[in-house]
Amino acid sequence: MYEAGQRVALDATTDPHTELRPGDEGTIRRYHPALNQLDIHWDSGSCLSMLLDEGDSVRLLPA
């Protein structure tokens, strides 16, 4: 479903310490299917991973 290089936008995160906000965009670096985790390089410079089973969500952007 997710592949390195795909662009995403943040829908929501449960991390209370991040400065990322809904709509922020980034590029997937790696997807860990066993953990349902996305490693993302956010355009803002953040490298916060998304834990999809923990309430984080992103949407794929059109190529």
Query: Does the residue 46 lie in any domain?
Result: yes
User: Is residue 34, in this structure, part of any structural domain at all?
Assistant: yes
Is residue 48 situated within a structural domain?
A: yes
Q: What is the pLDDT of residues 2-40, one digit of tens each?
A: 999 999 999 999 999 999 999 999 999 999 999 999 999
Interval 10-20: pLDDT, tens: 999 999 999 99
- Annotate 12-23 with DSSP letters as a single string: E---TT----TT
C-alpha triplet 52, 22, 5: angle, nearest 5°: 60
2 falls within a domain: no
Q: Would residue 1 count as lying in a domain? A: no
Q: Which range of residues forms the domain containing residue 49?
A: 7-60
The total domain count for the chain is 1
Q: Tell me the whole-structure pTM to 2 decimals.
A: 0.94
